[in-house]
Amino acid sequence: MSSLSFEDLSLVDDNRPSPTRLQDSDSESDQDLESGGDKEMSVAEVYLQACKLVGVVPVSYFIRNLDSPTMTLTHHGLGPLGCKALAIALVSDMHINTLELADNHIQAEGVKCLLELLRANFTIQHLVCKTKAWLCLVTTQTQTWPQ
């Protein structure tokens, strides 16, 4: 797994601590201090934090269906910022292998975030983004197109 993080997607100011790690100083034990005291956030927690940081409303369907191998988020109005929050959360996800994002108005900025996601997450094998104007189908399988 690659080490793509919030910072890699230009979400967080370099001077702020990364929200991908939590540190609870009130309940640190000796064992926590020895191991650094950091706790990994779940994909849902990372998503909620990313949504908060970019200023979008979280898609509850996404959170409810994180265990599904296919995530169908068509017509959810994600936009580029919602797509950015989604990409940040999915960097560490190991369950989803198909991501469908049709008609979400993700624009070039959203596509850029999705490309960064695909560089970091090797679990996602199929990405479908389509609108009436264009179609984007990304797959890791070799495909030959008719000439």
Q: What is the pLDDT of residues 81-128, one digit of tens each?
A: 999 999 999 999 999 999 999 999 999 899 999 999 999 999 999 988
- Could you tell me what percent of the chain has a pLDDT over 90? 53
- 3 pLDDT tier (thresholds 50, 70, 90): very low
Mention every residue, 6+ apart, whose C-beta is less than 8 A from residue 2: 91, 119, 120, 121, 122
The per-residue pLDDT of the chain, averaged, comes to: 77
Alpha carbon distance 91, 72 (integer Å): 17
Alpha carbon distance 127, 115 (integer Å): 10
Torsion of CA 42, 44, 46, 47, to 10 degrees: 160
- 21 pLDDT tier (thresholds 50, 70, 90): very low
